[in-house]
Amino acid sequence: MSFTAFTQSIVDLAVLNPLPGAVLAIITLFGVVKLGNLFGSYLAVLLDTLVRRGTPLTTYGSKAGAWAVVTGATAGIGEQFAHQLARAGFKVLLVSRTQSKLDAVASELKEKYSGEVATFALDAASAGDKEYSQLAAFVDDLEGGVGVLVNNVGQSHEMPVPFAETTKEEMHQIIQINNVATLEITRAVIPALQKSIKTKKSKRALILTMGSFAGLTPTPLLATYSGSKAFLQGWSSALGAELAPEGIDVELVVSYLVTSNMSKIRRTSAMIPSPKAFVKATLRSLNRRGGAQERAYTSTPFWSHGLLHWWIENALGVYSRIVAVFNRKMHVDIRRRALRKIAKSANTQ
């Protein structure tokens, strides 16, 4: 039956049987609208991740002397943000724990891009009021203004672990680094972002915070990490609505697996990009939602991650029992393999 014929049958039913026909017509109308919305949303994912470009970096002061502050900047995604922002014309402030690693990355950036680079050593696991006040003062003194903050510093579990077996130290450290440090660093840098806009050093300012699929979907055996990333979702959405009128764009960047020291994955694939590819996708689609069409101030920018996000959200629901059970089985298997590897290593010593 064609769609036209189907529609005509609904109209005929409504005429012959006014009450049941009207109810069926309403249900059908809602179904058509829902399907239309889903199609439009999926098309937006494809356009955002494959075609349309986001806000250009020049809006935030690239090539105009503005600074980009990058935390967790000495490896993986953070180091790639530093490289790609420097290549785009930003001066870059590297923030991480170890000064020797900061110096190595700074030297490489200066050699490759001939731009200005500064460093600030900060241990996110132990920093207190004194260290964050020092960071705020340091950032405020940067000549040229601050146009971008990248909140990349983070920590996960050493391996999937039942919550009851998670050590108190690991649990507290994850919350301290992923949540407390991220909030404190953002609070320290926001005045510099506001100042940059007021003094017209940049048209707008940008706060990027790294999220995770572990925060998108509840992830058993990574419960503390999963909760810490879910917190960043709510915080970023609230902060985005709060700061938008001031000209500061906020975006939580949701990623699935990326090759890195944290993920312990070395081989790339269609689903697992390198840090370089992931950061490139992020910076080309700023303020585009990608797979996160249902979430304000959020983006899933890498194409395969965006499609996976959309299908989980719309086919199953991110909080569905099916997703939680699948995640549990996957991480039980990862834990089993990790324990087997540790046992094998111990036996060979």
201 touches 64 (CB < 8 A)? yes
Rounded Cα distance between 242 and 56, Å, is: 22
pLDDT of 1 above 60: no
pLDDT for the residue 263: 74
pLDDT for the residue 260: 82
- Mean pLDDT of the chain, nearest integer: 92
Enter the pTM of the model. Answer: 0.89
pLDDT of 23 above 90: no
Mean predicted confidence (pLDDT) in 153-179: 97
pLDDT of 5 above 90: no
pLDDT for the residue 8: 55
Rounded Cα distance between 289 and 278, Å, is: 15
Instruction: Pick the range with the lowest mean pLDDT from 26-30, 62-66, 238-242.
Output: 26-30
The H or E element containing residue 82 is helix 76-87
Binding-site members for substrate are 212
Q: What are the helix and strand counts (H, E) for the chain?
A: 12, 7
pLDDT confidence band for 3 (50 / 70 / 90)? very low
Instruction: Pick the range with the lowest mean pLDDT from 28-42, 71-85, 117-131, 335-349.
Output: 28-42
Q: Which residues does 210 contact at the CB level (< 8 Å), separation at least 6?
A: 77, 150, 151, 152, 154, 253, 255
Residues 55-86: tens digit of each pLDDT: 999 999 999 999 999 999 999 999 999 999 99
Share of residues in the chain with pLDDT > 90 (%): 84
Check 60, 113, 225, 256 and give the catalytic one. Answer: 225
Share of residues in the chain with pLDDT > 70 (%): 91
38 touches 314 (CB < 8 A)? yes
Selection from 134, 125, 251, 254 nearest residue 178 by Cα: 125
Instruction: Determine whether 225 is an active site residue.
Output: yes
Query: What strands lie across the sheet with 205-210, from one edge to the other?
Result: 117-121, 91-96, 67-71, 146-151, 205-210, 248-253, 298-299
Residues 87-142: tens digit of each pLDDT: 999 999 999 999 999 999 999 999 999 999 999 999 999 999 999 999 999 999 99
Residues 180-221: tens digit of each pLDDT: 999 999 999 999 999 999 999 999 999 999 999 999 999 999
Rounded Cα distance between 64 and 244, Å, is: 22
- Where are the domains positioned within the chain? 3-49, 58-336
Rounded Cα distance between 324 and 54, Å, is: 33
295 touches 44 (CB < 8 A)? no
77 touches 279 (CB < 8 A)? yes
58-336 is a CATH 3.40.50.150 domain? no
